[in-house]
Every structure is written in C-alpha cells, then in structure tokens.
Amino acid sequence: MPHPRHFTLSFSCPDRVGIVAAVSQFVAGESGWIIEANNHSDQTVNRFFMRLEILAESLGNDLDRFSERFEPIAQAFNLDWQISDSARKKRVVILVSKQEHCLYDLLGRWKSGELDVEIPCVISNHEDFRGLVEWHGIPFHHVPVDRENKDAAYAEVARYFDAAKGDVMVLARYMQVLSPALCARLRNRILNIHHSFLPSFVGARPYHQAFDRGVKLIGATCHYVTDELDQGPIIEQDVIRIDHSDQVSDLVRYGKDIEKAVLARGLRYHLEDRVLVCGNKTVVFR
C-alpha cells in the first residue's frame, strides 16, 4: 500500500522541559494527524532531536500555511528545523568515476520505483558510463579533474548541480576529493560511500590496507562529505566477516555488495529526513 502524502517535520534544539508537549499540542491544534513520531535526547550535549510525519490531508495539504504558523513555536524553543512534502520528489545528482557497481544499483532502484526520486543528471570525471546513463534517459556530464584544474572543475560541478536544481549530491564511488568550497556550500547535502568501516582505513586502497592488517571483518560507510577526507558525520555502516583464505580480490568482491546496500540505506534515510546532524555525529531515526 502506498504511503499517504505527508509532511515531515524534523528539528533539533537545546533540551528543556515541554518541547514534545508544545509541538504535539500545536499539531493537534491544527487538526494534524501524526502518523509517525521519533525523538531522542542527547544528555551529553544537552540537545533534543525530533521527527514527525503528519498526514498532509489533515492539514489541508497546505505546507506553507503550516510552516508559517509553526514559526512562533520554532522561535520559542530555538529550533533548527525543516519541513518537507512527500509529494515533491527530491532531486539526486550522482557523481561517479570508474567503479560502476553503486551507480548500477542506484539506477536500478530508481528505474524500478524503489527509489522514488528524480535523477536530473550524472557527473563523472571519465566518459566510461555515458552510454549507460544516457540509455536511462538521464543527462551525462563529463567534467575532467586534474591537479591543475580542480577549482575550475568543481565550479563546473556546482553549476551543473544548480542547473539541475539538485537537493542532494551522491558520490557513488567518485574517486576525487571535492574542494573545501563545494563541501562548505553543500554542507550535509553530499553523501559518500567509503569502502571501509570508518574510522579504520581512510583514504585510498582500504581493502589492501585491511588485507595487510589481517582483519576479520570488512565494511562500508555512508557519510556526509566534509573538507576532511573520510571524516564527515556517519549515516550508515555494515560489515561482513572474512578469513585467512580470502585474498584482496575477494575482499573487493564482498565489499561491493556491502557498499551498494549501505549507500542505498544511507541515501534513503537522508531523503526521508531521518538524519539529524549533531557536530560530527548523527541521530538516525530508522
């Protein structure tokens, strides 16, 4: 059964008595029907996190009116808040290099309707996947990146993202380090899949690092991108057990399956406004 149209209200704020009561009473006063609610209090930083799904029909399908009337509550509790409409598909711009498995997976989920988004374009520093992407009816942009042109290249990536009216950028095994300016401009809107269980084995060739270290578990991490390599807030992770008989090629093969699943889950959590960032950590309402 399709999920009914709903508005998703999510926020964080300094923790204090009365937040849940004030917000829920306000929603009830607007005749809002809450169909899902989650909250968390982080006492180490004295911060409160909450996410509500409200049946859009119960609010007259009027997001702007609800947002305007909610503003005094937001100001009273110093909320860092956002609200979204499930009727509006979010626009996902994908960046990829020469590893195709995550791109294939996202396109497959999109094509089947499992991932209910728009993919307005795919950007790559190589031409390898132009045919695949354009076969799906999606514009493909080739933006070469080298040491001498990085600033210009990422300015062009930003222009394509803006022209596509992108909501989120996904690095689907995009093997380049984004510019600090782009990371800052799209803070908490760029997702990366790293092929290790962070914080172990950051940077390049993590499966080789894991093999050399003799680990018994390998994993993958979906995280937000910052200007510090592989150090952004973690959204989702998973692992698989390996043993002494596995070679680097086996680790790479196992890892591709984990990478696809972890990236898809992390992206879904982000798209559904289930991720709230707190410093370099996240609260994820699954």
Burial of 261 (0-12, 13-18, 19+ CB in 10 A): middle
Residue with tokens 């509550």: 73
Longest dimension (CA), the chain: 63
Distance from C-alpha of 220 to C-alpha of 233, rounded to nearest angstrom: 14
Residue in the block written with tokens 């809450």 = 34
Single out the catalytic residue among 15, 230, 246, 250. 230
Count Cα atoms within 13 angstroms, Cβ side, for 142.
Answer: 9
Instruction: Report how far residue 169's alpha carbon sits from residue 183's, in angstroms, rounded to the nearest whole number.
Output: 11
Provide φ and ψ at 93, rounded to 5°: -100, 125
Nearest to 267 by CA among 169, 195, 138: 169
Question: Is 105 designated active site?
Answer: no
Catalytic residues: 230
